[in-house]
């Protein structure tokens, strides 16, 4: 039995598919962008580790700030020479924490 | 050709639009959740930064060790106002960190830890030997007269030890090392100028260091039996009697005569001109200080004295100074089977029948034993710095070599 497809239905389906595709496209873009705004779990874990060490150091403990997978960059504060700004940079090149530290002997 | 007037059926398109709305709804939900999460994350990070910056402010204030105010701008955009002020024998730093309408405040008592180990005993060169009797022990570096120490016999007791000094001995200068602190920081005027005056203190109270100092001044004698904590100065022109039931934490007492009842325990700084007495089993915990500052001795018959009775323990420091020293009636420190851990600096004489774990700077020794009075003699005394913990922070009263490390003693 021969069955004919009505032209108007084809147009309808084409429009509907286009709308759905557009809709999916926008939705996935929104989803990707929104998920990108959060730090990666690994960075958050490293940030917590850095904070724990800094907290101990701020309370007077003599601790090393070396953590695997974290690059430590020290530079003198622009406004105050007796302060060092320590930046902790993750493998993803993200600054996970920045802390001012009093220079010893100043 | 006949053209039919046909309309596109809306069934599929209807579904598509419904789907569009549904996806739109889901996307809006995702966007909302993301936005809320981002706000929470930013707020949380702000709080974290403020807390870390605030603690940094405390450490920075302690490192500068200079009384006054200063502002710091942090890398996260926060600002901190740091105030350092004298608090008796120690200093207090107050750090207030701001970010917009947010604010974190903390204060801490701090001291300076020296890399240089103070000698266990420093007695100036008076060309007199010091007699050691009974079970006297001196452990650590000693600065003494060139005539040194000798074995003695007082009150029926010989020196029982094997060696006179267990440590290195050096010859001292003719005077005690100068004090690095300004003695006027113990004046009432230091506190009263900017203090909030209180009429009375009936209830237990806690006073924050982030607020102006509270001062209760009385012309009559004061009896303290409550729980007071923090930024409070109790002053009397007559005397202060601290009952055993009182609980004092970091409070300053100023009066000509101060007496602690037997059994009292607390962290307190007592500043007197004539006498401080600690009855039996008084425990002054770290950081405490007893300061006797004789301005003028109008009656040489009465010796300005700090007296520590049996079982008393003072952790921190003891300072005795005289603006017009009278060699017939010098300021006097007496330990009767008591223990002091920390720094003792005495411009007068010390009668030591107890233990000093830390460092003693004294002009001379005196001793009442066996019915006689002796100078430069020690009977059953212990002077040692071996038992003092490495991280014990002494009051920063004496000039020393090396760079000090600021140490927070307690945060509130």
Q: How far apart are CA B92 and CA B87, in angstroms?
A: 6
pLDDT tens-digit profile of B66-104? 788 888 888 888 888 998 888 888 888 899 999 888 889
Does the beta-carbon distance from B72 to A85 stay under 8 Å?
Answer: no
B350 falls in which pLDDT band (50, 70, 90)? very high
Residues facing B141 on adjacent strands: none
- Residues of chain B contacting residue A54, judged by C-beta atoms under 8 Å apart: 52
Query: Token digits for B206?
Result: 């806690």
Q: Which residue has the higher pLDDT, B211 or A31?
A: B211
Question: Are the C-beta atoms of B206 and B230 separated by less than 8 Å?
Answer: yes
In DSSP terms, B153 is beta-bridged to B158
CA-angle at B193, arms to B188 and B198, nearest 5°: 80
**B209 closest CA partner among B61, B4, B411:** B411
Q: Is the ipTM above a cut-off of 0.85?
A: no
Chain B residues whose CB is inside 8 A of the A15 CB are 13, 16
CB contact at 8 A, B279 and B242? no
Q: In the A/B pair of chains, how many CB contacts fall below 8 A? A: 93
Q: Which two tokens stand for residue A57?
A: 């150091």
**Separation CA B130–CA B81 (nearest Å):** 52
Q: Which residues of A touch B407 (CB under 8 A)?
A: 60
- pLDDT > 80? residue A10: no
DSSP reduced 3-state for B252: strand
- pLDDT digit string (tens) for B181-199? 777 777 777 777 778 888 8
Mutate which of B10, B14, B74, B408 to test chain A, going by most A C-beta atoms within 10 A? B74
Closest CB from A19, A58, A98 relative to B16? A19
Tell me whether residues A16 and B55 touch, CB distance under 8 A: no
C-beta atoms of A27 and B23 within 8 A? yes
Query: Chain centroid to CA A66: how far?
Result: 21
**pLDDT for position A67:** 80
Contact A80 B72 (CB under 8 A): yes
How far, CA to CA in Å, does A32 sit from each of A36, A38, B21, B118, B121?
6, 11, 20, 64, 72
The reported pTM is: 0.79
pLDDT of the residue at B276: 94
Measure the CA dihedral B205/B209/B211/B216, to 10°.
Answer: 50
């Amino acid at each position: 039995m021969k069955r004919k497809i009505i032209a108007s239905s084809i147009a309808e389906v084409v429009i509907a598919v286009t709308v759905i595709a557009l809709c999916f496209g926008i939705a996935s873009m929104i989803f990707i962008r929104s998920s990108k705004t959060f730090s990666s779990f690994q960075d958050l874990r490293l940030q917590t580790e850095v904070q724990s060490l800094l907290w101990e150091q701020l309370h007077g403990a003599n601790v090393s700030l070396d953590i695997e997978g974290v690059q430590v960059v020290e530079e003198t504060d622009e406004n105050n020479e007796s302060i060092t700004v320590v930046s902790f940079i993750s493998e993803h090149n993200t600054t996970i924490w920045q802390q001012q530290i009093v220079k010893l002997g100043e | 050709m006949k053209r039919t007037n046909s309309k596109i059926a809306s069934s599929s398109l209807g579904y598509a639009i419904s789907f569009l709305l549904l996806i739109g709804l889901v996307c809006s939900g995702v966007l909302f959740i993301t936005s809320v999460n981002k706000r929470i994350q930013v707020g949380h990070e702000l709080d974290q930064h403020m807390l870390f910056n605030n603690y940094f402010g405390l450490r920075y204030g302690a490192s500068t060790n200079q009384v006054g105010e200063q502002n710091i701008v942090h890398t996260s955009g926060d600002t901190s106002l740091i105030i350092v002020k004298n608090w008796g024998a120690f200093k207090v730093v107050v750090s207030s960190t701001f970010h917009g309408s947010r604010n974190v405040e903390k204060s801490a008592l701090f001291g300076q830890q020296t890399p240089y180990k103070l000698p266990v005993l420093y007695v100036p060169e008076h060309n007199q030997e010091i007699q050691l009797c009974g079970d006297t022990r001196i452990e650590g570096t000693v600065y003494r007269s060139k005539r040194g120490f000798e074995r003695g016999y007082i009150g029926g007791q010989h020196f029982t030890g094997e060696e006179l000094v267990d440590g290195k001995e050096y010859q001292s200068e003719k005077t005690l090392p100068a004090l690095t602190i300004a003695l006027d920081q113990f004046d009432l005027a230091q506190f009263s100028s900017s203090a909030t005056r209180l009429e009375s203190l009936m209830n237990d109270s806690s006073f924050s260091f982030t607020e102006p100092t509270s001062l209760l001044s009385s012309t009559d004698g004061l009896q303290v039996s409550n729980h007071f904590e923090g930024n409070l100065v109790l002053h009397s022109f007559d005397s202060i009697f601290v009952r055993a039931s009182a609980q004092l934490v970091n409070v300053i007492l100023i009066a000509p005569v101060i007496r602690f009842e037997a059994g009292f325990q607390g962290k307190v700084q007592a500043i007197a001109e004539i006498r401080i007495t600690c009855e039996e089993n008084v425990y002054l915990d770290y950081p405490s200080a007893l300061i006797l500052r004789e301005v003028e001795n109008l009656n040489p018959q009465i010796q300005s004295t700090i007296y520590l009775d049996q079982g008393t323990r003072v952790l921190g420091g003891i300072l005795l100074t005289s603006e017009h020293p009278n060699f017939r009636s010098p300021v006097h420190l007496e330990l009767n089977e008591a223990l002091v851990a920390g720094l003792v600096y005495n411009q007068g004489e010390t009668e030591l029948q107890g233990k000093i774990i830390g460092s003693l700077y004294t002009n001379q020794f005196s001793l009442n034993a066996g019915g006689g009075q002796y100078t430069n003699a020690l009977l059953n005394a212990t002077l040692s710095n071996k038992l003092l913990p490495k991280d014990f922070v002494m009051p920063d009263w004496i000039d020393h070599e090396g760079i000090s490390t600021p140490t927070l003693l307690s945060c509130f």
